Structure 1
Amino acid sequence: MTSTSPRLVKWENGTDLVIELPLAVDIATVWSKLVDSETAGSWFASFAIGEAAGETDSAKTGGDDSDDAAGDGGESNPAITFDLGETQLHGEILSYEVEDHVLVELEDFGVLGIQLLALELTDGDATLLVFTQSAPDAESARLKAADFGPMWDTHMRLFARALGLEAVEVEEAELLALYADLELEDSEVDDSEDGANEA
């Protein structure tokens, strides 16, 4: 049975909420489920990318005449819109590499990333899904973790179930307590001095 592992990680340019989820499925399968806009509704929300996302709301997504170039290596980032039922969540895709990562910026949530790393198990291939939500500093990251961490954790476990895996059930009160007091790690090497990060 799979479960999440959250923490805060301090980098040179900010602090990330990091949630790791090991999946006993190969990367190709995880990626195909991750980018399937139709079935995304079973674990988060269905979505549209590029022109389909910006046809009626290009102003909200920051779209302009250069949107057409997004898929052709242009400077513009493709728009992405999640259908939440009564409302829509708009953003843009900042970066992606097939079967490796996707980085998006969403209204109200900021920069979010998902990276897929290969794991080797004795009984087959597996994938470590690493979700990140970026913040400018540790205090902002703690606030985001408390506000959004339980939600992201729930959606990640729903994603595991969408892959046919069993995910640990966690009570809401337990999630709230966990994400209100996450351990802060420093990405610097262990022998670096405490004063090395001067913001």
Structure 2
Amino acid sequence: MFNSNKDIEEIVEDTHEDTLEDIEVAQEEDIRKGKLRVLKEKLKVAEKEKMTCLEDLQRMRADFLNSKRRLTEQLAVDTERAKEDFIQHLLPLADSFDMAFAHTDTWEGSDAGWRKGVEAIHTQLQSIFKSYDVTTIDAVGDVFDPNTHEAVSTQVGGGGAASDTVVAVLQKGYRMNDRLIRPAKVIISA
């Protein structure tokens, strides 16, 4: 079958080379599989880090939006407080106008030009109150309400008014946006 030793040597050599090639291919495949395994592990780690970063980002975004909402709400509250403070500083001025207008004899006896100027200033003050949604508490004839009235005195009989009814207002009360900023000082019937 085989002609010579040379043929046998060639066959052995070819087989040996094929075996070496198979071993090299197998080793290269093992190396590739190892690299693939390492790359897959790195991919898993990277995906895990990505998810962690995404969760952190979403949490930070939610925190930012919550902070922004709280700041907006706080700004609105602070703005309302500043408006109330401003109006409370104007209330003594309104009281002074009310006292001046209440003394009709003195008021009517004053110079007409001067009265007209004072009335114009009073109108400006009322316009400011209106622009800030400030309203007076009209209390005469109402049942006494400790949430909006401050009883300063009682009057026996009260002109036929029912008990605990407001018979006179000594100082007007005010609301701003339906929120009490000063109770009305009143006299109630006993």
Q: TM-score range by the shorter chain?
A: under 0.3
- Larger-Rg structure: 2
More helix by share: 2
Q: Which has the higher contact order (CA 8 A, sep 6+)?
A: 1
More strand by share: 1
